[in-house]
Amino acid sequence: MTERILIRNAKILTCSAPTPRAVPGVPGGGSGAGANVGTGSDVIADGDLLIEGDRIARVAAGRIEIDSGAARVVDLHGAAVLPGLGDAHVHMSWPLDFVFDHVSVANAPAAPHALDVAAVARTFLESGYTLVVGAGVSQPFDDVRTRDAIERGLIPGPRVIPSGTMITERGAISADTGMTSVVSDARDIREVVARQCDTGVRALKLFVSGDGIVPEYPSDDLYMNDEMLSAAVDEADRYGAFITVHARGSDSVAMAARNGVRVIHHACFLDDKAVHELEARRDDVWVCPGLHYLYAMVSGHAEPWGVTPEKIERSGYEKEFHAQVEGIRQLREAGIRILAGGDFGHQWTKHGTYAAELQRYVELVGMSPQEAINTATRNMGPLVGLDVGQVRAGYLADLLIVDGDPLADITVLQDPDRRRTVLKGGRFAYVNPRMFP
């Protein structure tokens, strides 16, 4: 018989209402003032939820009456239930103690490295994250094998949309590190995309701009071209995969948008052309900023690990940070969907602190907590083509249960002591051991 779980007396954040378009010129960007909080269908103050097998069967305000012997009953006494969170810019390859030593991770012996990656997968799940989208690996099969091990039940972890080795152009950033797939033209890139997809990769990562942290390759640098990008998108499409890009400068964002790239990471600088290209593809493009990372860098959080103020000065990150905050506001006004995701795993943006990204959206950009949560829930489902990211009948029962109210205080999502339980596909995937004395 299908297993049934009845979750009672919950505050339910359904994340089912569309994020309203921000209004230009209004402080906080318009929707920040509470238009999307506590109104109608988005939040059920006191409700029940019935899970059957791996899916949500019913969501109701008030009580669901069923024969109590027919389901396992879990009384939450007012705790909050929301969709399991998602992160769209993930490097599972970076171990819990990672300190920017990409080359040593890439060359680490395979067996201990695999255990490091397993620990990261578990950390995502225990942090309330039931979905991750890879943004490039250090060893070619890190994401694919971890996904397989999770699906076989060997290790705990989120749903994984696997990435592969990062792809860059000859002469461009990261081309001489020995850790990337280096391509010269459209034919090359088609070949590399196909080969990665054959191994199970579904989110391919390309560099189309530089990055100020490596001063020889400034963020405004533009790599690859329309022909290469459209070839990559076309080839990925044949496998049901999609292209994501590292794109910091506005020309790289515009090029990615007009060629059908699905996820544009960073998008720090935006001009009118870039915004128009994004608007033209509003229904099938997402922007994943990684704001907390820039915030931490310009706030000196990386200084104990040798990222000196001089290095930050040289990187241009201060300017980039302010441009990004402004850019996210522009994107909200243009109705472009934002994805939470943040390059977590450095010691100054440690694994397990993923929801700090949402806090920055609230504090720096002026999103309402609900809008920020939508970037990690509602906006993720259509990206990956799964029924996830909403608490809704028919959707997969990927759920996070927390003590406290994330709509009153978004930082609740970062507090390990408040995380009670994570369900994935209707199963208790994590139960906080601290809850039981």
Q: Which long-range contacts (CB under 8 A, 24 or more apart) does 274-277 make?
A: 274/250, 275/330, 275/331, 275/334, 277/253
User: 161 or 423: whose CB is closer to Zn ion?
Assistant: 161
What's the closest the beta carbon of residue 66 comes to Zn ion, in angstroms?
A: 46
User: Within the chain, what is the greatest distance between any pair of CA atoms?
Assistant: 67
What's the closest the beta carbon of residue 91 comes to Zn ion, in angstroms?
A: 6
- CA dist 209 and 270 (Å) reads 13
What's the closest the beta carbon of residue 138 comes to Zn ion, in angstroms?
A: 11
Helix (H) or strand (E) holding 328: helix 317-334
- CA dist 320 and 210 (Å) reads 13
User: 246 or 420: whose CB is closer to Zn ion?
Assistant: 246
User: 343 or 398: whose CB is closer to Zn ion?
Assistant: 343
User: 5 or 135: whose CB is closer to Zn ion?
Assistant: 135
What's the closest the beta carbon of residue 415 comes to Zn ion, in angstroms?
A: 25
What's the closest the beta carbon of residue 146 comes to Zn ion, in angstroms?
A: 17
Q: Which residue is nearest to Zn ion (CB)?
A: 343
229-268 burial, b at 16+ Cβ within 10 Å, e below that, comes to bbbbbebbeebebbbbbbbbbbbbbbbbbbbbbbbbbbbb
- CA dist 430 and 427 (Å) reads 9
> In the β-sheet with 159-161, what is the strand arrangement from edge to edge?
85-90, 129-134, 159-161
- CA dist 60 and 393 (Å) reads 10
Q: Which residues pair with 168 in a beta bridge?
A: 182
User: 242 or 430: whose CB is closer to Zn ion?
Assistant: 242
* DSSP character at residue 137: B
User: 127 or 163: whose CB is closer to Zn ion?
Assistant: 163
What's the closest the beta carbon of residue 244 comes to Zn ion, in angstroms?
A: 10
What's the closest the beta carbon of residue 331 comes to Zn ion, in angstroms?
A: 19
Residue ranges in contact with Zn ion by CB under 5 A: 135, 343
The closest of 289, 392, 393 to 331, measured between CA atoms, is: 289
User: 85 or 245: whose CB is closer to Zn ion?
Assistant: 245
